[in-house]
Structure 1
Amino acid sequence: MAQQKNTANHKKDTLGEPRALGEIVVSASRKPVTLDNVPSSVTVITRKTLENDMTVNTDVTDILAREVPGLAPGTQTNSNVGQSLRGRSVLIMIDGVPQSTPLRNGEVDMRSIDPSVLERVDVLKGATAIYGNGATGGLINYITVTPKEDKILSGKTMINATGSLTSIKNSVGGRLNQVLQGKYKKFDYIVSGVAEQTGEFKDAKGKLVGPNYSLGETDSYNAFAKVGYQVNSRQRIQLMYNYYRSQQNSHYNLVNGDIAKGIPASGVLGTPAGVATGPRGNQTLHLLYQADSLIGGTSLTADAYYESRDDIFYVSFGRFEGGDGQSHTIDKKKGLRLMFNSPLSNKTAFNGTLSYGADLLNNVTSQPLVDGRIWVPEMNMLNYAPFAETQWSLWQNLIVKAGVRVERVRVSVDDYTTLQLTNANGTTSAPSIAVKGGDLDYTATLFNAGIRYNRLPAFMPYFSFSQGFSVSDIGLALRDAKVNDIKKINTEAVLVNNYELGFVSEYKKLRFELSGFISTSKLGADMIFDPNTDLFNVSRTPERVYGFEASLQYQVLHNLDISASYSYLEGKADTAKTGGSYNVYLNGRRIAPPKVTGSIGYRPVPELEVRLQYMGVNGRNRFEKNAKGVYNGNEGKVSAYNLVNFNASYKVAPRTLLTLGIDNLFNEDYFPARAQWFMQPGFYSKGKGASFNIGIAVNY
């Protein structure tokens, strides 16, 4: 599909590498649009930024946390529990193919692909429905690479060694990445393979980081291939496949931490129970057909996809009647999408387009135990959604956008029986119940609208209203059923209204953006801890989340650039359902503490580039301790911490690059935010201490 271009706002990406902001195509609309024409807050992480960050570490959840204002800090684990976007759930996609599992949200979807095969990452913030169910806080679209070289065969080999600077023993790991690409006549291709093994993670004192879900001692593999065929100048067919596996093979058994005494979780040598945790083998297959300049200038995009996931969770000891249990989320999606884009007017003063089409999705999700016992029954969802969206450029400077999408969803569940659960003292906390299945039907009409005025570069304001829709973790409600019929369980969907007001200011080589937002929903999905049962239950009460974000980029010199951002977020629930009295704070699982980021990049000579990157997580304390003298789960106090990373790259030859990255340069001794607010002894682990990443990359 042809990309719109606007050369009026020519910028530098990093250290002298030019890019035009107006030429970046983002996922903010079903029809690709340029960043300058988006009337809402969007973060685009470029390939250059990804390459810089990967010299430090390759955990995409950590990269996103450092680069995206409004996204909660990373957890340094195989799970992204609590890493919300603007306080709500985020839809993860690979080239528009959904990876998230909203029917049973295991919160492990961010680690779905290795960042080495990404061209960029588009992050659209605020509720949206343009790609369907699950994006009540926004969406993150991983855009995969395409061939760049015109040769029949070219390639790149990258080798890295990693380890701890506080205690090298058993901490050394390695990574190998091989890429081959080329073009031949009308065909182009790119294939990539990644194998990475991490050693033990050590904290600032050189002690083992608690092994529960840790990314230490983890084996990760990513296989990627994309083949394209240019039928003619107006038509293209493309097939993409991605396989991702990342499982922890620890040599330690978990030793729970003592939160009251500040003692972190650790481990003792042994063989952990159960099977390895993490993604056991997630696959995405995507077939795309694009045709431009059909009848009346209409373009067509048609695609079909298949996605499967198998994510393994940790062993729960003493929770299930009949023995310990280890669960895994099994998810399969099959989808078809059809979109047309037609010009409505191509006059200079009034230039408009209309995008319209429909999406069809079949999503089957369950969460059994590894031994075969049914914890969450199979949920079979059929989702049909027609949509239409129009965008106009009026007098070249006024951008107006509006759209509508109609969601029609049916979720079918067979009869099932819940598992009997026990609490910490061994007594029954939830009896086994036979539940009658059936169909759950949802219909929602969702709107979005936005306006942006680009007349004055020093002040380009925008306003948007958008709605998001989510079936809201039906699986969690089904597994915790207290009644004998799913019709009696509160499985009503979440509908979010999002309002955003902001502006962009550009002056020479300075860019500043400020945006404020508020999102409301009549029903929420907050996870509330019940100390009487040691279980988390879903609170279905009205919610309001609000906050603001500010970001700045400035190229001081041709070889020196700086950037900074600040994010603030707050949220409350109307537990009395009075219709306006938001009296209870949302907990840490939903609301991240304020976050500050900054970076300085410098290139003293053309062959050498160095960068310092800072992330500060501020404190948050909204809750009182319970009768036991500790905070309830998800309500723990977060104490502030500050992290600085360093990376450098040196081109020793025209095709050979040496890299050095140091994570946590000043060896901050801290607990990540999730470890603090989660209040679970098994997850009360310290963050990584100073660690290194040394690499070499050879192009040929």
Structure 2
Amino acid sequence: MNSGFSYKKALLVASAIALGFASNANAQDKSDETVIVKGARIKLPKNALPNTIEIISKENLDIQTQIGGSAVDAVANLIPSFSPTRQKLSGAGETLRGRSPLYMVDSVPQSSPLRDDSRDGFTADPFFIDRVEVIFGSNAIQGIGGTGSIVNYVTVSAPREEGATKGQVIAQINGDDKIGGSSLGYKTGAYFGKNFGKFSALIGATYEKRGVYYDSNGNRIAPDGTQGDTMDSAAYDIFTKFDYRLDDTKKFEFMYNHFNLEGDGDYVAVAGSRTLGRPATSVRGTIQGQAPSNNVNTASLSYLDSDLFGGSLSAQIYYNDYHGVFGGTVSSTFYDPAYGGSSNFDQSANNSTKKGVRLTYDREIEAIKGMRILGGIDYGEDKTFQELLLTNRNWVPITTLKSLAPFIQINQALFDKKLNLSAGVRHETAKISVDDYKTLYSYGSANVKGGEPEYNEDLYNLGAAYEIKKGFNIYASYAQGYTLPDVGRVLRAVTINNSEVDKLLDVSPVVSDNIEIGFEVNKGPVVASIAYFESNSDKGALLVLQNGVYEIKRQKTEISGLELNFKWNMPIDGMTFNFGLADLRGQTDTNGDGIVDSDLDGVNISPDRANFGLSYKKGPFYARIQDNVYMKRDFYGIGYDPRNNFGGYSLADLYLSYATQFGDISLSATNLFDKQYLSYNSDTRLPTDNLSYFAGRGRVVTLGYSKKF
């Protein structure tokens, strides 16, 4: 595997830059700023936690959302270890540090681990997100799914001051250079909140119409007719949040979000040619069946008491209902003579209903100075099945996961809080229940006896964070995260009659062991961090190509990397420079001998990457130019196809805004220099599939208006 930067060079460069600037800093020291990270579930400042944490503010999120079009694109633009997005509805193959992240909305999980369809990035409109918390590396504090970091969308709330109001309206129009024709898209939205004293409320709604996407050669990009696409689609979101304060320390908080994105189905794909380097395109046409869609309802009711027996109690009841429709296909998998020849065509929908209770209690221990204990218990249920819509058959049978997990976390501050030690354990007990069922005709109509396989797992973490001197911190941690293998893929493909679920399913969790060592500077004009990490799994869960279809395989996996983030408030008043770097390595054991022997491919790990950004703010004027450099990567290993090697590319974006008394006017250009390129995911997989040979979007211009009050 080739890498644009070696660890040694990157470490030397990063340390020299960070230490050099910080040691000569004369500007105001901002290292006292503290941010409580909700995704960590404990009331400690960011710099007391022993892992890399990135907080994306609403201001930065709004900028990146206008540039990229979604919250996933915003995170990908700012986090160098996040893979290039597919620019599709499906996020399959999009990873953070080589593993799939756990997406949450106000700490409510959005993933569907029993039948993972990778649609969890499109479950809420970013307009209602106040900030994004990215907790890097594996950890189990939020339960299932935390092997590849946690991305927690914290939604907007009503103002805290009694009688105060808060709101925002936006309007955007975008398209290719002409901003017209079939590429035309637009978005509008508004929310309004008020604090009435004991009671406060915020309500809002958005509507977005996306046009057809074009590449830089002026050709329509092909839609992903099966997995789903964001082009040629319409989406709306209805959001509400209420809270009722019983007194100064106790309150109830309720959040509800309904998100719906559905394709218009006005375009069909035309195969390209990988041999000739011609990407797939699209023409006007009528699709068969329903257009792919996401329909998601998320609700949360929380009770918060900040002074209960000297500590803080958080109790949350949550509900998440997801219905994701996939595009129809003509496939022998769907054939059944009982339905006639037309049953060759069908389409599936993934259905997942999650509900649960989270109890967390956090308090300082007066008898031991500096000690803080977090304890709690989580209970969750996930009911998932995958149905065939046209013939009313279940492809994946109804599968229910019930889990119970007590946990405890101890944090000890020493030497006037300069040293923070932490340790914790979470005990997971879970059962997967499946009734008797029959597989599809194409799998032999096999009768399968139901069962209730169980698993128990203890997950540990240990860490230390030390303030060397004001604004200089180092940390080290060991943490375990876990998720489940995609059991739905196994259950739907059983071919042996009278099989038993208890013998079929290996439900042992995918446990990742994460080691991280980092150094942070927050001094004067410089905020910088550098981290080295390793994330290993004895029984990983990888997407592996088998007979033209990607299936989940349990293989040993080893991932390591170096990540740097650097921000410098330059001597020029109002000018800021950003730099980010990620150097990733990943290997897996393909033959089961316990020794990793092959590189992770582009479906399972992102390319090495460097981010550059230059921002300027003066009075009412703001400007930002940024460049994401995705570096060349060759893959080596058993059975790898050199046609899947990645040649690399660089994409620049521009954002301009001007504040007036009537609101902010903004103009952005995505892919500023109109570069023609292939999406990373498309370029590194399925070298003979000409329908999935997708070009990336050409230059997209967006004119926006926003007013906050």
- TM-score of the pair, normalised by structure 2: 0.90
In structure 2, what is the equivalent of residue 375 of structure 1? 395
In structure 2, what is the equivalent of residue 105 of structure 1? 116
For 2:600 and 2:168, how far apart are their aligned partners in 1?
47
For 1:39 and 1:149, how far apart are their aligned partners in 2?
30
Contact kept, 8 Å, 1:625 with 1:631, in 2: the verdict is no
Kindly indicate whether residue 476 of structure 2 is the aligned counterpart of residue 463 of structure 1.
Answer: yes
For 1:406 and 1:282, how far apart are their aligned partners in 2?
30
Distance 1:623 1:210, change over 3 A: farther
Distance 1:526 1:482, change over 3 A: farther
The CA deviation string for residues 383-426 of structure 1, in whole angstroms up to 9 with x for no partner, is 100011011211120011111100000010011222244xxxxx
In structure 2, what is the equivalent of residue 311 of structure 1? 324
CA RMSD of aligned residues (A): 2.2
For 1:383 and 1:683, how far apart are their aligned partners in 2?
38
SS at match of 1:55: helix
For 1:674 and 1:472, how far apart are their aligned partners in 2?
21
The Cα of 1:487 is off from its aligned counterpart by: 2.3
In structure 2, what is the equivalent of residue 7 of structure 1? none
SS at match of 1:536: strand
For 1:328 and 1:639, how far apart are their aligned partners in 2?
35
Q: Please point out which of 251, 254, 271 is paired with 1:256.
A: 271
Give the AA of the match of 2:423: A
Kindly indicate whether residue 125 of structure 2 is the aligned counterpart of residue 125 of structure 1.
Answer: no
In structure 2, what is the equivalent of residue 35 of structure 1? 46
In structure 1, what is the equivalent of residue 153 of structure 2? 142
For 1:582 and 1:558, how far apart are their aligned partners in 2?
51
Kindly indicate whether residue 376 of structure 2 is the aligned counterpart of residue 360 of structure 1.
Answer: no
For 1:697 and 1:149, how far apart are their aligned partners in 2?
22
The CA deviation string for residues 432-455 of structure 1, in whole angstroms up to 9 with x for no partner, is 422211101010011111101113
Kindly indicate whether residue 409 of structure 2 is the aligned counterpart of residue 389 of structure 1.
Answer: yes
Q: Please point out which of 171, 175, 199 is paired with 2:183.
A: 171
The Cα of 1:90 is off from its aligned counterpart by: 1.6
Contact kept, 8 Å, 1:167 with 1:206, in 2: the verdict is no
Distance 1:618 1:231, change over 3 A: same
Kindly indicate whether residue 198 of structure 2 is the aligned counterpart of residue 182 of structure 1.
Answer: no
In structure 1, what is the equivalent of residue 653 of structure 2? 645
The Cα of 1:165 is off from its aligned counterpart by: 0.9
In structure 1, what is the equivalent of residue 365 of structure 2? 344
Q: Please point out which of 468, 481, 502 is paired with 2:494.
A: 481
Give the AA of the match of 1:339: T
SS at match of 1:170: helix
SS at match of 1:638: coil
Q: Please point out which of 678, 681, 691 is paired with 2:690.
A: 681
Distance 1:319 1:570, change over 3 A: farther
Distance 1:624 1:502, change over 3 A: closer
Kindly indicate whether residue 94 of structure 2 is the aligned counterpart of residue 67 of structure 1.
Answer: no
The CA deviation string for residues 327-375 of structure 1, in whole angstroms up to 9 with x for no partner, is 111000111111111211387xx31111111011111011112222211
1:564-603 paired onto structure 2 within 5 Å: 564-579=579-594, 581-603=595-617
For 2:434 and 2:240, how far apart are their aligned partners in 1?
36
The number of aligned residues is 664
SS at match of 1:78: coil
Give the AA of the match of 1:524: G
Q: Please point out which of 135, 148, 167 is paired with 1:155.
A: 167
Q: Please point out which of 649, 670, 676 is paired with 2:677.
A: 670
Contact kept, 8 Å, 1:416 with 1:436, in 2: the verdict is yes
Give the AA of the match of 2:127: S
In structure 1, what is the equivalent of residue 234 of structure 2? 219
SS at match of 2:453: strand
Kindly indicate whether residue 304 of structure 2 is the aligned counterpart of residue 290 of structure 1.
Answer: yes
Q: Structure 2: where are the runs of 5+ without partners?
A: 1-21, 337-343
For 1:692 and 1:332, how far apart are their aligned partners in 2?
38
For 1:512 and 1:558, how far apart are their aligned partners in 2?
20
1:200-599 paired onto structure 2 within 5 Å: 200-212=212-224, 213-279=228-294, 281-295=295-309, 297-320=310-333, 321-322=335-336, 323-345=344-366, 350-371=369-390, 372-395=392-415, 396-421=417-442, 430-457=443-470, 459-483=472-496, 484-491=499-506, 492-530=508-546, 533-556=547-570, 557-579=572-594, 581-599=595-613
SS at match of 1:678: coil
Kindly indicate whether residue 703 of structure 2 is the aligned counterpart of residue 694 of structure 1.
Answer: yes
For 1:591 and 1:78, how far apart are their aligned partners in 2?
19
1:622-641 paired onto structure 2 within 5 Å: 622-623=635-636, 631=641, 636-641=644-649
SS at match of 2:521: strand
Give the AA of the match of 1:266: T
SS at match of 1:375: strand
For 2:205 and 2:69, how far apart are their aligned partners in 1?
14
Contact kept, 8 Å, 1:619 with 1:639, in 2: the verdict is yes
Contact kept, 8 Å, 1:22 with 1:35, in 2: the verdict is no
SS at match of 2:64: helix
The alignment-based identity, stated in percent, is 27
The Cα of 1:157 is off from its aligned counterpart by: 2.2
SS at match of 1:116: helix
The CA deviation string for residues 617-653 of structure 1, in whole angstroms up to 9 with x for no partner, is 1122214897xxx949xx8222211111111110122
Contact kept, 8 Å, 1:146 with 1:226, in 2: the verdict is yes
The Cα of 1:96 is off from its aligned counterpart by: 0.6
The CA deviation string for residues 471-508 of structure 1, in whole angstroms up to 9 with x for no partner, is 21111121223442222324232111111111112332
For 2:396 and 2:665, how far apart are their aligned partners in 1?
49
- TM-score of the pair, normalised by structure 1: 0.91
Contact kept, 8 Å, 2:65 with 2:73, in 1: the verdict is no
- Select between 226-235 and 671-680 the one with higher mean Cα deviation: 671-680
SS at match of 2:602: coil
The CA deviation string for residues 147-194 of structure 1, in whole angstroms up to 9 with x for no partner, is 237546553321111111167421111111111111112111111100
For 1:339 and 1:255, how far apart are their aligned partners in 2?
53
In structure 1, what is the equivalent of residue 99 of structure 2? 88
The Cα of 1:458 is off from its aligned counterpart by: 6.2
Kindly indicate whether residue 665 of structure 2 is the aligned counterpart of residue 658 of structure 1.
Answer: yes
| Larger helix percent | 2
Distance 1:190 1:103, change over 3 A: same
For 1:481 and 1:569, how far apart are their aligned partners in 2?
36
For 1:338 and 1:455, how far apart are their aligned partners in 2?
35
For 1:21 and 1:444, how far apart are their aligned partners in 2?
38
In structure 2, what is the equivalent of residue 425 of structure 1? none
Give the AA of the match of 1:352: M
Contact kept, 8 Å, 2:465 with 2:476, in 1: the verdict is yes
Contact kept, 8 Å, 2:64 with 2:73, in 1: the verdict is no
Q: Structure 1: where are the runs of 5+ without partners?
A: 1-10, 422-429
SS at match of 1:50: helix
Distance 1:71 1:27, change over 3 A: farther
Give the AA of the match of 1:698: K
In structure 2, what is the equivalent of residue 609 of structure 1? 622
For 1:19 and 1:311, how far apart are their aligned partners in 2?
45
Contact kept, 8 Å, 1:624 with 1:631, in 2: the verdict is no
Contact kept, 8 Å, 1:65 with 1:74, in 2: the verdict is yes
- Select between 444-453 and 209-218 the one with higher mean Cα deviation: 209-218
For 1:394 and 1:681, how far apart are their aligned partners in 2?
60
In structure 2, what is the equivalent of residue 6 of structure 1? none
SS at match of 2:145: coil
For 1:319 and 1:126, how far apart are their aligned partners in 2?
41
